[in-house]
Structure 1
């Protein structure tokens, strides 16, 4: 809990502190300067960790939990993360570095990426810590690209990362409460991928 608590605390304090706002400006000047060519990889890399939770098991690297349990933790963590980031974006007015909108805080891309990184860490750290490290590296890369593309301040990334990690941890705390139902082989589930042209979604329905 130290890492997500620290990231969230940093994000909160940064919005009321001229000192941390100065850090945001300094990092932006060093990373973006507002004139970098756009790299859209962050729109896809944010899903890397969550995709890896299912892809690695599919190719024969066993996850810690079965498919239904992983669907539950992935769905719950992403629901918590999405609700939290949307509420914050709609209530805390922070302009993006490029001035395109005033919903910069926190970074939804970073939150999504760090949910996946924590899911990957929880499921595969007993197989090898390098899976989790790779997930966190991809998440950190996503955060960097959001700053490189001049879409977020560093404090937005920190807050998004904290929310993402904490959301995944909450999902795993809730897992034992529904574990017996998830492991019942007589229960059914449906996985439905949807691509809208601008966003990829994975809908999961569990019948208890």
Structure 2
């Protein structure tokens, strides 16, 4: 049981470190002369934490050492815990739901309702496709032997996606919103192991996928937003016409409705 608690503390510490790193990268990626940029700009450094988590999980599929660690934790859980607690079924949605709850309470985040919904929807699609695809490819048996779709943990991925989403939306208001979101996500992953539904490597990989999916939702926001805008204005037309800006004559495209 001591090892399980140690792993839980390691997950919490790693998650909070991921937040600190993400904050630095976010600030570094925003142009200093811009006051309207609300999406996360891509930065290779942002890949370090989620890629490490995912890599750890993938390596664990075939690593004898990590398999032994998985088994030890699972045995400790089943030996000391008699009753399952299915709170993780609800906790996984809490971080993302908190973004909308805070908005409803008048605490303004980074984006408006439409924009953050587009970001969350994009993130969720990426996360779901990744988790579903890996489950069908890897076919890892669950600790409780109920099915062969253990890797990665979808509950954990959903929770960490929501935690990163909450962090990005409210880190400028207070970093503690993000801290609480990541804490909830970490406990979601811990409960997946507590309930003997996932191995440690499943949970760690799920956390990485969730964080990366949320970041991707912000990276892709400008493109996805333009797609929604074009669909909402099907009659929008462009024309190539001459213009004069007071200094020189040129040619360019303008849009009309």
TM-score range, shorter chain: 0.7 to 0.9
Instruction: Name 2:158's counterpart in structure 1.
Output: 112
* Counterparts of 1:181 and 1:17, CA distance in 2: 43
Structure number, greater radius of gyration: 2
* Counterparts of 1:122 and 1:183, CA distance in 2: 23
* Counterparts of 1:51 and 1:65, CA distance in 2: 15
User: CA shift at 1:137, angstroms?
Assistant: 0.4
Identify which of structures 1 and 2 has the higher relative contact order when contacts are C-alpha pairs closer than 8 Å and 6+ apart.
Answer: 1
Instruction: Name 1:200's counterpart in structure 2.
Output: none
**Per the alignment, do residues 33 and 22 of structure 1 end up closer, same or farther by CA in structure 2, a change over 3 Å counting?**
same
Instruction: Name 1:44's counterpart in structure 2.
Output: 90
Q: Do residues 9 (structure 1) and 61 (structure 2) align?
A: no
* Counterparts of 1:182 and 1:120, CA distance in 2: 23
Q: Do residues 83 (structure 1) and 129 (structure 2) align?
A: yes
User: CA shift at 1:179, angstroms?
Assistant: 4.2
User: CA shift at 1:57, angstroms?
Assistant: 1.1
**Per the alignment, do residues 181 and 82 of structure 1 end up closer, same or farther by CA in structure 2, a change over 3 Å counting?**
closer
Instruction: Name 2:238's counterpart in structure 1.
Output: none
Describe the SS at the equivalent of 1:140.
Answer: helix
Describe the SS at the equivalent of 2:220.
Answer: helix
Decide whether the 8 Å contact of 1:36 with 1:149 is kept in 2.
no
TM-score scaled to structure 1, two decimals?
Answer: 0.84
* Counterparts of 1:32 and 1:138, CA distance in 2: 23
* Counterparts of 1:53 and 1:23, CA distance in 2: 36
1:134 to 149, 166, 180: 180
Decide whether the 8 Å contact of 1:34 with 1:98 is kept in 2.
no
Instruction: Name 2:254's counterpart in structure 1.
Output: none
2:75 to 3, 11, 29: 29
TM-score scaled to structure 2, two decimals?
Answer: 0.69
Between Structure 1 and Structure 2, how many residues are aligned? 186
* Counterparts of 2:78 and 2:155, CA distance in 1: 17
Instruction: Name 1:198's counterpart in structure 2.
Output: none
Deviations 1:55-105 (A, max 9, x none): 111101111011111100111101111111111111111110010111100
Decide whether the 8 Å contact of 2:60 with 2:201 is kept in 1.
yes
Q: What are the residue-to-residue correspondences of 1:1-208 with 2, within 5 Å?
A: 1-33=47-79, 36-179=82-225
* Counterparts of 2:184 and 2:197, CA distance in 1: 18
CA RMSD of aligned residues (A): 1.9
* Counterparts of 1:7 and 1:19, CA distance in 2: 17
* Counterparts of 2:208 and 2:123, CA distance in 1: 13
User: CA shift at 1:29, angstroms?
Assistant: 2.7
Describe the SS at the equivalent of 2:62.
Answer: coil
**Mind listing any 5+ residue stretches in structure 2 that lack a counterpart?**
1-46, 234-257
